[in-house]
Amino acid sequence: DTAVSQTPKYLVTQMGNDKSIKCEQNLGHDTMYWYKQDSKKFLKIMFSYNNKELIINETVPNRFSPKSPDKAHLNLHINSLELGDSAVYFCASSQDLTGGQPQHFGDGTRLSIL
């Protein structure tokens, strides 16, 4: 059973398009995250949600809009895709917001902008 699953695994699209990435966790966790990993493998937090409420919103263009319909799901919608958006996007979850919790990551969505 996959704990944190993301779809799609690969996404190839043209500049200017709008796309969504979906994430689901079956761990019963309260907190979910989106991270971006660039070509140099640097993993940077974008957003975190706790019980469907936005907690962390890093300096991310407002073309990126997360949505959490329930605490098991956190989707990411990206408008007007740009070349610089090409990266691997990881979803993660943790038991709650307290700092000592391990994060469980999905296997990533590889986004390529043509």
Partner 1 sequence: SQKIEQNSEALNIQEGKTATLTCNYTNYSPAYLQWYRQDPGRGPVFLLLIRENEKEKRKERLKVTFDTTLKQSLFHITASQPADSATYLCALCTTSGTYKYIFGTGTRLKVLA
Residue numbers of the site for partner 1 (CB under 8 A)?
4, 35, 40-45, 48, 55-56, 90, 92, 97-100, 102-108
- Which residue in the block uniquely carries the two structure tokens 């309260």? 30
**What distance in Å separates the CA atoms of residue 81 and residue 101, rounded to the nearest whole number?**
33
- DSSP alpha helices (H): ranges in the chain? none
Distance of closest approach, residue 13 Cβ to partner 1, in angstroms: 20
Distance of closest approach, residue 98 Cβ to partner 1, in angstroms: 7
CA neighbor of 89 nearest in space, from 28, 61, 47: 47
Distance of closest approach, residue 71 Cβ to partner 1, in angstroms: 17
